Amino acid sequence: MRFAPTEQQELFASNVASILEKECSVEALQLAGERPSGLIDGLWETLSETGLMGIAIPEEFGGLGMGSSDLVFILEELGRSACPEPVAEHAAVAAPLITRWAQNEMAQEILEESAAGSRKLTVGSSIDSRVVSVEKSDLILLSKENELHAVPTKEILHTPITSIDPRYKTSMVEWSSTPKTLISEEPEAIEDLTNRGALSAAAQAVGVAQKLLEMTVSYVSERKQFGKPVGTNQAVKHHCSDMAIAIEFARPLVQVASWAIDHERSPTENFTVSGEVSAAKALASEAVELACRSALQCHGAIGYTVEHDLQIWLKRGWILASTWGDALFHRRRLVKILGLI
């Protein structure tokens, strides 16, 4: 079974990466962090023009009809660029959930507008109930017990939560469920929400870890002490090697989990989709946490300053490590899935 990207997947991801490299410059990200919205002007519209917002929406509704296996490479680029827009929540979680579970006319209208990017979707975590980018979204997918609902933003009350990353706005929300907002009463829909959210965070975490590794290698190659680059010291090399190994272990598991979600089964006999996702999220969370620690260690005191670019990806990495469940949560989930307790 081959999980390497196809030519089409590489082309799409490369195109998105080029846009993100241009639009999500360090200067743009710093400016976004100073704005109340935490966003970059025009970025959502630019990404929408590529078809990204409808990548997992069926062609009959104006989307591209692709799946999580196609999205996972783009999600990694979103993490690598510290993209402040809720693209992952919209394209990789909310839109596929509505496609799979909604059975009414409302779904068609939502999907058609979402594919074009004219209606912005976000989701509330089924684990800690936090919602990303409430103020700038039009519709929020929320769970209550075994019910999945799509609630217009104007019908909720939200309380912003202080975040270490000013470009990653989260809130707690108060809302009322109605028959009109109901999408599904199937328990499997909530499990699907958890899996897609965790996969999205895992893929982005791998992207952040990759960026931190690249920044660290560049820094230790240029920074000199006693007349030689600090990167020539064996201890520093070990830090960088550990980061690279953790990333290379996590990335394939994320790709396998994306395949499992698309095919609604694990490629491993007697295993589950949820098991694949939790294995991926556990390793991705640990990889990005290790990358954050090692990057700080190798950068030294300058890595702790807000003036240095490193702080942008450190903050995003710490958030993604715990979003949709941290490594401990998903290891415990794995233990239950395997029937060990």
User: How do the pLDDT tens digits run along the chain, 341 residues long?
Assistant: 667 788 888 899 999 999 999 999 999 999 999 999 899 999 999 999 999 999 999 999 999 999 999 999 999 999 999 999 999 999 999 999 999 999 767 788 899 999 999 999 999 999 998 999 998 899 999 999 899 999 999 999 999 999 999 999 999 999 999 999 999 999 999 999 999 999 999 999 999 999 999 999 999 998 877 778 887 788 999 999 999 999 999 999 999 999 999 999 999 998 999 999 999 999 999 999 999 999 999 999 888 888 899 999 999 999 999 999 999 999 999 999 999 87
pLDDT at 278 (0 to 100): 98
Nearest of 100, 106, 140 to residue 120 by alpha carbon: 140
Strand ranges (E), the chain: 121-123, 131-132, 139-144, 147-152, 157-161, 170-174, 182-184, 224-225, 228-229
- Return phi, psi of residue 122, to 5°: -145, 180
pLDDT at 145 (0 to 100): 87
Tell the residue number behind the tokens 């958030």, with chain if given.
Answer: 319
Tell me the whole-structure pTM to 2 decimals: 0.95
pLDDT at 1 (0 to 100): 63
* Longest alpha-carbon distance in the chain: 70
pLDDT at 2 (0 to 100): 66
Under DSSP, the state recorded for 172 is E
For residue 314, give both structure tokens: 């450190």
Rounded Cα distance, 111 and 159, in Å: 28
Q: What element of type H or E holds 311?
A: helix 310-322
Domains of the chain with CATH codes: 192-337 (1.20.140.10)
Q: With helix as H, strand as E and coil as C, how does 105-163 read?
A: HHHHHHHHHHHHCCCCEEEECCCCCCEECCCCCCEEEEEECCEEEEEEHHHCEEEEECC
